[in-house]
C-alpha cells in the first residue's frame, strides 16, 4: 500500500508545483507592473498566487466537464450538469435548492430535450452524491413529475451524525479528503463556527435522544466485520454539549443527512448504484446507505474498489495523473447506466 500512496503524493506534488510554475511564467510574460508603484515585489507575489488559485479552480472545474462529456458520449445520453451557488458567498440550503430547482425544471421539460421520461438517472459524486440522495428523496411521491429510474451515488456523504465510523478513523488523514478538511468544509457550507469542530467530530453536538432514535441506522454494528479489521477503536459520543447543538443542529436535518430519512421514503426510492472506496473516510457512509436501501427492499448494485480513494474519479482522463481506480469507476457507471 505504501508505494501507491507515495506515487499519489509525488504526482500531486508535481501537479501543484507545475501549476505554480506556470502561474509565475504567466505573470512575468504578461504582466506590466508600473515603475511608480510601491512594493512591486509584493504585488508580483500576490498576483502569482492569484493566477495560481484561479488556474487550479479552472482545472478542477474542467475535470467535471470532461467527466460529464465522457459519460454523455459513452452512454449515448442527454446529460444535465447543474451549476450552483457556492461558499463563501452562499451557504446551506443554496446547494440543495439550486439543484432541486434545476432538476424539477429539467423533469418538466424532458420532451424538449428528447429524453425518455422512463429512463432518467440522477448521479452525483461526494457532496454531489449527498445532494442527489436528498433530491431523490424529496421527489418521492411527486405525481406531477416523471419517476426517477435510478440514482448513482459515487462515494456520497449521507450523514453528519457520526464522524467516528471505522472508515473515518482508518482513513482520517488519507488524501484527498481528510476528516479535518471534511469537517471544515461542512462548517463553511452550513455556516457553523469552526470553534465547534471538535464537538462535531466527537458527536457531542447530537442530543442523546437523537442518538438513540437513529442509532439503528448509524451504528458501526451495521458495518461488516471485514471493514473493521484495520485500526478501528469502538467509540461512543462524549457528554452532550447543548451550545454546540444549537449552533450545528441543522446539519442533522434530512437534507444534509439523507441517511436518516423515514422508512416510508426510503422504500419508494429508485434502484441505486453505489460506489465506495476502501481508502476513503466516506466508505462507511456508502455501506450504511446500502443497508438502509436493501432493508427497505430497494435494489442496490454495489461497486467497491480496494485501491480506490476519495476524489479519484476526476482523474480518469488525466493521463499521467490518472489511477487504475479512476477509470474503473467511470466504466462501472457507464456499464450500469447502459444496462438499465
Active site residues: 126, 280, 310
Cα separation, 120 vs 62, whole angstroms: 24
| CB-CB contact of 74 with 64 (8 Å) | no
**Under 8 Å CB-to-CB from 186, ≥6 apart: which residues?**
160, 192, 200, 251
**3-class DSSP assignment, residue 278:** strand
Q: Name the grid cell of 340.
A: 438499465
| CB-CB contact of 166 with 224 (8 Å) | no
| CB-CB contact of 257 with 158 (8 Å) | yes
Cα separation, 340 vs 336, whole angstroms: 7
Helical packing angle, 94-108 and 127-138, nearest 10°: 60
Cα separation, 335 vs 222, whole angstroms: 29
Taking the CA of residue 121 as centre, how many other CA atoms within 13 Å lie in the half-sphere pointing to its CB?
A: 23
Q: How far is CA 185 from CA 127, 181, 191, 301, in A?
A: 10, 6, 10, 29
Amino acid at each position: 500500500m505504501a508505494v501507491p500512496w507515495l506515487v499519489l503524493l509525488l504526482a500531486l506534488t508535481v501537479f501543484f508545483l507545475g501549476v505554480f510554475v506556470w502561474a509565475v511564467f504567466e505573470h512575468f510574460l504578461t504582466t506590466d507592473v508600473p515603475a511608480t508603484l510601491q512594493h512591486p515585489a509584493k504585488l508580483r507575489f500576490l498576483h502569482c498566487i492569484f493566477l495560481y488559485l484561479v488556474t487550479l479552480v479552472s482545472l478542477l472545474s474542467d475535470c467535471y466537464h470532461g467527466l460529464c462529456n465522457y459519460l454523455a458520449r459513452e452512454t449515448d445520453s442527454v446529460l444535465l450538469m447543474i451549476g450552483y451557488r457556492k461558499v463563501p458567498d452562499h451557504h446551506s440550503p443554496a446547494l440543495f435548492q439550486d439543484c432541486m430547482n434545476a432538476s424539477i425544471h429539467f423533469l418538466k421539460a424532458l420532451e424538449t430535450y428528447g429524453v425518455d421520461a422512463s429512463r432518467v438517472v440522477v448521479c452525483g459524486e461526494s457532496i454531489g452524491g449527498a445532494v442527489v440522495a436528498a433530491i431523490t428523496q424529496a421527489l418521492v411521491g411527486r405525481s406531477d413529475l416523471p419517476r426517477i429510474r435510478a440514482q448513482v451515488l459515487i462515494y456520497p456523504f449521507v450523514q453528519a451524525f457520526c464522524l467516528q465510523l471505522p472508515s473515518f478513523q482508518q482513513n482520517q488523514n488519507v488524501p484527498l479528503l481528510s476528516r479535518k478538511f471534511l469537517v471544515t468544509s461542512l462548517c463553511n457550507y452550513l455556516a457553523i463556527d469552526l470553534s465547534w469542530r471538535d464537538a462535531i467530530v466527537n458527536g457531542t453536538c447530537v442530543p442523546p435522544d437523537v442518538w438513540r432514535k437513529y442509532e439503528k441506522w448509524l451504528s458501526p454494528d451495521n458495518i461488516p466485520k471485514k471493514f473493521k479489521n484495520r485500526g478501528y477503536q469502538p467509540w461512543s459520543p462524549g457528554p452532550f454539549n447543548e451550545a454546540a447543538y444549537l449552533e450545528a443542529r441543522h446539519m442533522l436535518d434530512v437534507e444534509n443527512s439523507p441517511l436518516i430519512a423515514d422508512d416510508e421514503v426510503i422504500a419508494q426510492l429508485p434502484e441505486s448504484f453505489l460506489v465506495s472506496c476502501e481508502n476513503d473516510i466516506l466508505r462507511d457512509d456508502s455501506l450504511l446507505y446500502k443497508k438502509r436501501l436493501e432493508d427497505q427492499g430497494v435494489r442496490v448494485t454495489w461497486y467497491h474498489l480496494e485501491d480506490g480513494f476519495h476524489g479519484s474519479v476526476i482523474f480518469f482522463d488525466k493521463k499521467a495523473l490518472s489511477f487504475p481506480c479512476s477509470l474503473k469507476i467511470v466504466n462501472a457507471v457507464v456499464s450500469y447506466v447502459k444496462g438499465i
